[in-house]
Each structure stands twice: as C-alpha cells, then as structure tokens.
C-alpha cells in the first residue's frame, strides 16, 4: 500500500477569483462540499492507499470532512516546498502518491489503474497521460493543454507516484517545469532545441521525452498512459468549474 499526499495549499488563481470568493482553490465548493474532500474520498476508497496527508491551510482544512486516516500538514510557499514538507511528514522514503487537490472527479478506479500500471515498471517518478480522443470522448468540448507527439496527442494527469528520496535534488528544475506546465513549447525549450524542432514537426517521441526529463532531473521517469480522463480535469478556470459542478449535478 502507498501513502498519499494531497497538495491543497494553492491560492485561488486569477481565472477563478472573480468566480468564487473562496481564497484557496482546494476549498472551492462542489456540490456543497470543498473539492479537496472528493479527492481524499477517492483515495480512501482505493485498496492501494494507506494514510492520506493533506498539505494546505491547516485551520481551514481542519473544518473539512476527511477520511479517518487523514493527516493535515502545513503547506509551503511553492508547490515543491509543499511537497517537501509533506514528504517530511511521511517519515519514510517509500513510493508515495502525490495528488493535486483540484481534481474532484478522481475515482478509485482511476487510481487503481494508474498504480497497477506503475508496478510493472521500475522508476523514481511515474506520470500519467491521457489521449486527446479518450479525453474528448469522456468530456466533449472541454479545453485542455495538449501535446502532439509521434504516437498521438496527449494531455497530462494530476496524480504522480514519487520516490521521496529524489525530491530534494529535483526542486529547482521541477519548479521550472511546473511553471511552464501549460505551455508545451516552453517545456520543449527546457529539453533542448532538438526537441523544439521535433515538437514543431510533430515527430517527437514519447520515449524521447521520458528519457530526456529523466536525464535533466537525474532520475528514472516513467510515463503511464491512462484511459481515465478524470485525471486531467483540474479545476483552474471557470469552464472547468462549470464542467465539474454539472458532472456532480448529473451524476455523470
């Protein structure tokens, strides 16, 4: 079994702060509940998950209804600082799930599928991707950031399986990757100009990206292709919030 860390410290962004008065993204209301509760609930339903750590504004999070095996810890000023604080609270260096708090459509089935695929690969960091066709079939009309590679067109997920021992060495590079996560061209620039050219031509291969990112971070990375589009629905703009709220209303 794996411990899980939910990143719930992010402040409401400029796209949503005129849409909801909630100062913290994780606490935005979905179907009458803070959306971080749905993420924790999905993790608790997975037989692969042991303890759940939620890193964010502790006073506000203590008012939430979390599963019994949940531990609340302080967040940092950045995503990577929050991950470091959460990893420290774990008290071990076993592989750990790291999940963002803004994916309330997450299901135990999606978690289980991701973990089961990870078990067949030896790596330090596992990252899911979803094909554009799978995403648009599940959520037609939803706008995502896509990357066109030789094998197809993909969007990224928001759950990771991480070896805690690699976190400290990856902080600076990982922060730059996170800053550019919505801009595929800038991400390719970080990988090198050869990647930029191949990206523009649509000839860049998935394994090339996987290998190069691993080289930059000094780790072994693994990309996991998931059919669960829920992994990619992070609520960071009004249309995402509308989509998620409608899904709960329609029980889709």
The residues spanned by each domain of the chain are 2-250
Find out whether 231 and 110 touch, Cβ atoms under 8 Å. yes
What dotted CATH number matches 2-250? 3.90.550.10
Q: For residue 1, which of 94, 68, 110, 72 has the smallest C-alpha distance?
A: 94
Task: Classify residue 61 by burial, with Cβ atoms within 10 Å: 0-12, 13-18, 19+.
Answer: buried
pLDDT at 49 over 60: yes
Query: Taking a C-beta distance cutoff of 8 angstroms, is the pair 22, 68 a contact?
Result: no
- Regarding predicted confidence, which is higher, 91 or 113? 113
For residues 176 and 149, the model is more confident at 149
Average pLDDT over residues 164-186: 68
> What's the distance, CA 186 to chain centroid?
19
pLDDT of 198: 63
Average pLDDT over residues 192-204: 64
Q: Which of 107, 90, 148 is nearest to 232 (CA)?
A: 107
Nearby residues of 96 by Cβ (< 8 Å), 6 or more positions away: 2, 3, 4, 5, 87, 90, 161, 162, 164
To the nearest whole percent, how much of the chain has pLDDT over 90? Answer: 52
Give mean pLDDT, residues 138-164: 89
Q: Is the pLDDT of residue 197 over 60?
A: no
């Amino acid at each position: 079994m794996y411990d899980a860390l939910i990143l719930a410290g992010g402040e409401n962004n400029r796209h949503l702060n005129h849409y909801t008065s909630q100062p913290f993204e994780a606490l935005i209301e979905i179907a009458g509940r803070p959306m971080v509760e749905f993420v924790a609930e999905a993790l608790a339903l997975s037989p692969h998950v042991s303890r759940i750590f939620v890193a964010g504004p502790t006073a506000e999070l203590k008012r939430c209804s979390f599963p019994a095996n949940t531990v609340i810890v302080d967040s940092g000023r950045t995503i990577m600082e929050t991950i470091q604080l959460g990893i420290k609270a774990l008290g071990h260096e076993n592989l750990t799930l790291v999940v963002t708090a803004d994916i309330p459509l997450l299901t135990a089935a999606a978690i289980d599928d991701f973990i089961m695929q990870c078990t067949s690969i030896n790596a330090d960091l596992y990252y899911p991707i979803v094909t554009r066709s799978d995403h648009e079939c599940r959520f037609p009309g939803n706008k995502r950031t896509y990357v066109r590679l030789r094998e197809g067109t993909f969007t990224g997920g928001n759950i990771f399986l991480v070896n805690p021992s690699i976190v400290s060495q990856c902080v600076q590079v990982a922060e730059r990757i996170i800053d550019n996560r919505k801009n595929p061209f800038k991400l390719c620039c970080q990988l090198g100009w050869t990647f930029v050219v191949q990206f523009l031509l649509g000839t860049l291969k998935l394994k090339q990206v996987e290998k190069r990112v691993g080289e930059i971070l000094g780790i072994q990375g693994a990309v996991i292709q998931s059919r669960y589009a829920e992994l990619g629905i992070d609520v960071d703009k009004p249309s995402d919030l509308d989509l998620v709220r409608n899904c709960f209303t329609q029980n889709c």
